[in-house]
Amino acid sequence: ILPTMKKIALVLLMSFFACYALQAQGTKSDIMSYLRNEGYSPSYDSDGDITFKLGKYVYYALVRDNEDYSLVEIRAQFRTEDKSLSELYQIANDLNLNKYLCKCSAYRNDDGDNICSISMEFITSSASMTNYQMGYILQLIPECVDDLLNEL
C-alpha cells in the first residue's frame, strides 16, 4: 500500500507542476484565441507582445507571469508632438482622477518622443477568466482612449 501511495502522490505533484507550466505559457495563447474568435487579427510584435486593432487604434496585450497567475495589461499608446511632457503628465493626472478602471501615463521614449498611454489590467489563472476579462476590457477601453484623445 505504501509504494502505491507514493506513486499517487508523485503523479499528483507532477500534474500540479505540469498545469502550472501550461498556465504560464497558456495566457498569451488564450488571449490570441479569444481575439481571433471575436474577429480580430492579433499578431506578435518584436518583443513578443500581442498586438491587435480595435476600431482605428492599435492595442497591445502584455503578459507577465507569476507563480500562480498572469498579470495582463491591455494598452494603447499615442505619440504626440503638440504637447510637452509636463502637459502630458497633467493630462494623465487629470484623467486618472476621474477613471477607476483605466490608467493613463505619460513618458518620453528612447527616441525622444512624448508618449501618452492608456491601459487596463487584470489578473488571470485560467482561460475562462482571461476570456471573461478580455470581454469587459474590449468594451470599456475604447471610451478611455476617446477621453485621452479628446485631451490631446
| pLDDT score for 82 | 87
| pLDDT score for 3 | 60
Task: Confirm if 118 and 103 have CB atoms less than 8 A apart.
Answer: yes
**What does the DSSP assignment read for 40-103?**
---EE-TTS-EEEEETTEEEEEEEEE-SS-EEEEEEEEEEESSS-HHHHHHHHHHHHHH-SS-E
- Find all residues with CB under 8 Å of 45, minimum gap 6, and list them: 51, 60
For the stretch 77-105, pLDDT in tens is: 999 888 899 999 999 999 999 888 899 99
Kindly report the number of other CB atoms within 10 A of residue 103's CB atom: 17
Kindly report the number of other CB atoms within 10 A of residue 143's CB atom: 13
User: Predicted confidence band at 21 (pLDDT cuts at 50, 70, 90)?
Assistant: very low
Kindly report the number of other CB atoms within 10 A of residue 81's CB atom: 6
- Find all residues with CB under 8 Å of 83, minimum gap 6, and list them: 91, 114, 116, 152
> pTM for the full model?
0.78
| pLDDT score for 25 | 62
| pLDDT score for 13 | 60
For the stretch 98-152, pLDDT in tens is: 888 899 999 999 999 999 999 999 999 999 999 999 999 999 999 999 999 998 8
SS3 state at 33:
helix
**How much is the mean pLDDT over the chain?**
87
pLDDT at 1 over 90: no
For the stretch 100-110, pLDDT in tens is: 889 999 999 99
